[in-house]
Structure 1
Amino acid sequence: MADKVAELYKFFQQRYLWQFYSRAWDRDENINGILDKLPVIFSGGQPEVADTLKDRAFYAEARIVAMEVTERYPWVKDMDVSQLKSTIDAVKEKIIDVTITKSQNGELNIQNY
């Protein structure tokens, strides 16, 4: 599973800018909002989408991510829901660790913005 996590992590780092928003809370909200919907989308289900513009935007982005990931990494289609969830959770944890927790950008946590 570690190799799959590394592949997806590298792909996300190269492809998607929502993980690099200007504030830690915004990065965290986007990373979780989008990646939490992926396992359900990958498995062919319909994730819960709140009736807010933000949640609908997360869902729209998650659909694009899911489409691009399945095109590039066909092994995703062979995984069951629990494997998908644990893989995505590991990728999410690594992205949060790198882009928020270990970030040296001092502006990430300024509360005045």
Structure 2
Amino acid sequence: MDDKVEEPIDFIMKHCLWQSHSRNWDRERQNEEILKKTKQLLCGEPVDLSTPSDRCYWVDAVSLVDAYRERYTWINAMSKDELAQLIDTLKARLDYLTISGSLNEELSDKNY
């Protein structure tokens, strides 16, 4: 599964501004919520849209799903379990690249 993650990660890094928040807690929340909704959409599960934040994350997830289905047609042939595993692996990689492995010291600067 790791070999399939790099293309979708590359898309996020190049096209999604939400992964560039200036605080690590913002990035953690964005990654979690958008990718959770992305997984739900890909797997045909219900998505919670009860709050304005939920709807905001949902819009980003819809855009991501549309792009993934168009650009990476192999996603369309995956089972729900494979899709869930893909998104979980993708999230772990994205968290590493944008949070825990980032060299951006502003992410954890308490005075910023």
| TM-score, normalisation: structure 2 | 0.90
2:24 alignment partner AA: A
Residue 4 of structure 1: how far off its partner (Å): 1.1
- Gapped runs of 5+ residues in structure 2? none
1:20 alignment partner AA: S
Contact 2:31 2:95 in 1 (8 A): yes
2:30 alignment partner AA: N
Query: 2:48 maps to what in 1?
Result: 48
Residue 56 of structure 1: how far off its partner (Å): 1.0
Query: 2:17 maps to what in 1?
Result: 17
Q: Do residues 35 (structure 1) and 35 (structure 2) align?
A: yes
Contact 1:40 1:81 in 2 (8 A): no
Q: Classify the secondary structure of the residue corresponding to 1:36.
A: helix
Residue 76 of structure 1: how far off its partner (Å): 1.0
Q: Do residues 110 (structure 1) and 109 (structure 2) align?
A: yes
**Mapped partners of 1:93, 1:60: distance in 2:** 21
What do residues 42-73 of structure 1 show as CA deviations (whole Å, max 9, x unaligned)?
13333223x22111100111011101110111
Query: 2:56 maps to what in 1?
Result: 57
Q: How many residues align?
A: 112
- Gapped runs of 5+ residues in structure 1? none
Query: 2:93 maps to what in 1?
Result: 94
| TM-score, normalisation: structure 1 | 0.90
Contact 2:39 2:87 in 1 (8 A): yes
Percent identity among equivalent residues? 35
**Mapped partners of 2:20, 2:9: distance in 1:** 14
Q: Do residues 7 (structure 1) and 7 (structure 2) align?
A: yes
Q: CA RMSD in A?
A: 1.4
Q: Classify the secondary structure of the residue corresponding to 1:37.
A: helix
